[in-house]
Amino acid sequence: MSRPSQIGPYRIIEKLGRGRHATVYKAARPDLDRPVALKVLRDYDQATLEKFEREARLSKRLKIPGVRRTYEAGRTREGQIFLAMAYVDASLKEVIRRHGRAFTRDEAVRLLEPVAQALDAIHQQGLVHLDVKPENILVSGDGRAVLADFGVTRRQGELTTEGTPRYMSPEQATGDRPVSPQSDVYSLGVVIYEMLTGRPPFQSERDDVLMRQHVQDDPPAPRDLNPRIDRAAARTLLSALNKVPHERPISAGALLRELAVAHSTPITIAVDVVRERPQVALIPAGVLAAAALVFFLARPPRPPSASPSPSTLDETTGAPTAVLTTTLTPALSPSTPAPETGTPTSTKATPTEPTSTPRPETATPTRPPASP
């Protein structure tokens, strides 16, 4: 199938990816001075449409640092349903592949700090993301990470088996325990485990096997896969992967603070982001830099700034400082006929913004995990 040249007001530049029910394009709009990521729904049924609407509604609501911004959502005259979002250079999955080696603890903490703050803010609103994975963490050319894709987000306390098996929590795998902030802490722990060891804790080509492993199996000791991981970091990783939710760190911010303990060896951060761009390098530092990092993580995130012109984009994240006026609600109201339906949606999320940000809580797991 040939790539369309125009979808609504958006001129298509290139196709970025294709999932089960949607295609994502890099596109341009005349009144925006930077490209957008345009997610276009296809082959969908009512359940998929409802999921898409939920993603659009939540991503527009969560206007905080660390969450990818949404510009608008709607339906074209031809019936194509779309979601226009800030274009970000690469996913963490690509960054990991291009990095070429395991990340150090400090590299991982610095890169994921805004994502942890975003998760804590989402949890403060009573929500759980439920699909934290490298494909849904996007990294800009200057090394800033944002969280994306709210298609399977749920209220805390619900039962669900939605998510991505390689990164989902045991309670998602079984669907018999309510999801909570600790469900996202577990998934973030899987992501950090992969960054520090070079592989996820559980590996299989079969989703049912991966889900069973999350429920029943102990992950390999991190130091067995990468002896350069210090023992304190290894213990923190295993606590995040505890099968029992209340035994995990109390929040995403707490998980990163436990990882960001003081150390005495110099560090150098170099994150290769995307497409022949120069590496982002930070100055080597010792104990003083690590202590400053702990202070930085403990401070409350900045509140969102006032919105200027709708066509203005944030210079650092590529995100708009205001949301365009077109919304999904009228375009996808029950009175609007939808295109013919196609293949039913699956319960597994595919790759693809709260109004205040809380001060991250400080806590540690109530029971230490087995020795790494």
Phi and psi of 236, rounded to 5°?
A: -65, -40
Find, among 133, 227, 222, the residue nearest to 183 by Cα: 133
Catalytic option among 120, 131, 149, 184: 131
Q: Can 120 be counted among the known catalytic residues? A: no
Across the strands, what pairs with 70? Answer: 85
- CA 72 to chain CA mean position, Å: 20
Q: What is the secondary structure of 200-227 as a DSSP string?
A: -SS--S-HHHHHHHHHHPPPPPHHHH-T
**DSSP one-letter code for 78:** T
| Rg over CA atoms, the chain | 20
For 165, 205, 306, the CA distances from 213, given in Å and listed in that order, are 10, 12, 46
Is beta strand 127-128 parallel, antiparallel or unpaired with respect to 154-155?
A: antiparallel
Largest CA distance in the chain: 63
Q: How many CB atoms are located within 10 Å of the residue 215 CB?
A: 14
Alpha helical stretches, state H, 39-89: 46-61
**DSSP one-letter code for 313:** B
Q: Which amino acid would we find at residue 248?
A: R
Are 13 and 36 in contact, with CB atoms under 8 Å apart? no
Counted residue by residue, the chain has a size of 372
Q: What is the secondary structure of 317-333 as a DSSP string?
A: T--BSS--S--HHHHT-
Cβ density class 181-192: b for 16+ within 10 Å, e for less? bbbbbbbbbbbb
Joined together, the tokens standing for residue 362 give 């400080």
**Distance between CA atoms of residues 26 and 9, nearest Å:** 13
Are 127 and 33 in contact, with CB atoms under 8 Å apart? no
**Distance between CA atoms of residues 141 and 278, nearest Å:** 9
Just list the catalytic residues: 131
